[in-house]
Amino acid sequence: MVYGLIIAAGKQSRFGSETPKALMPYGKKTLLDINVANMETVCDMVLVVTSLENYEWFHNYRRIIIESGKGCGDAVMQALSVLELHEDDTVFIQWGDCLHTNTIYHELRNKYDHTDKLLIPCVKEESPYVQIVPRKDNTIDVYFSKYGEKITEGFHDLSLFYGKAKLLHDYLCEFANKITVNDKYVHKHNNEMQFLDVFNETELKAEVVEFKNYKTFDFNTIEEFHALMESRVLR
């Protein structure tokens, strides 16, 4: 079974619009419509992960409704926990405020060779928002500029991941157990369970898949969204 999870459960505190980011228009469709259609070409089931606060916006989609506010890593873990996972099931994880070309999903599936590594499509950037550093033991280190960590030129993820679903779930549970104190997450990064921190806090194996000259479409504010729409950078 190949699952697709589109994460759209955030609080949107920085966005500046009532409409969820995943439902912003791109041409005559929404970002979510395009992503669902693209992922359905490689997935057996595509699900939108929503929160108790925003799930009514997504009534036209197949949903998983979770408790939000605990970090995006916790959101992915909750969503995977709902599924009846088998050892060979795989999953695409994608953030709802991103948009990708259809071919990227096929390239990831074609590259997947049944190893226990999570595939991370990346581009190289100067001073990326998030820097991913591959290590020789097939693990990675992740650095975050928003937490004041030193960032240099390097790999930046495309907010898309692919690998074995049960394996990822188990490592997320390990991460959650590691940082839980009195039923709350206690961590250096906002006391939340951020998805990319799973690579820093566990031995989850990963492989960086570089996409050269790939233009990303992702945004944090309504102003950034309109600027991207004017340039139509995705290709």
The strand pair at 160-164 and 130-134 is best described as unpaired
Mean pLDDT of 122-139: 92
Q: Is the pLDDT of residue 180 over 70?
A: yes
- For tokens 């041409």, the residue is 27
* Per-residue pLDDT band at 235 (split at 50, 70, 90): very low
Determine if the pTM surpasses 0.85: yes
The residue with tokens 């990227």 is 104
User: How many C-beta atoms lie closer than 10 Å to residue 183's C-beta?
Assistant: 5
Section 39-68 average pLDDT: 93
Higher per-residue pLDDT: 93 or 9: 93
Average pLDDT for residues 136-146, to the nearest whole number? 93
Q: What is the predicted pLDDT for the residue at 84? A: 95
Residue 137's alpha-carbon distances to 93, 141, 156, 204, 205, in angstroms, are 23, 11, 20, 10, 8
Using 50, 70 and 90 to split pLDDT, how confident is the model at 15? Answer: low
Closest CA to 22 of 13, 37, 34: 34
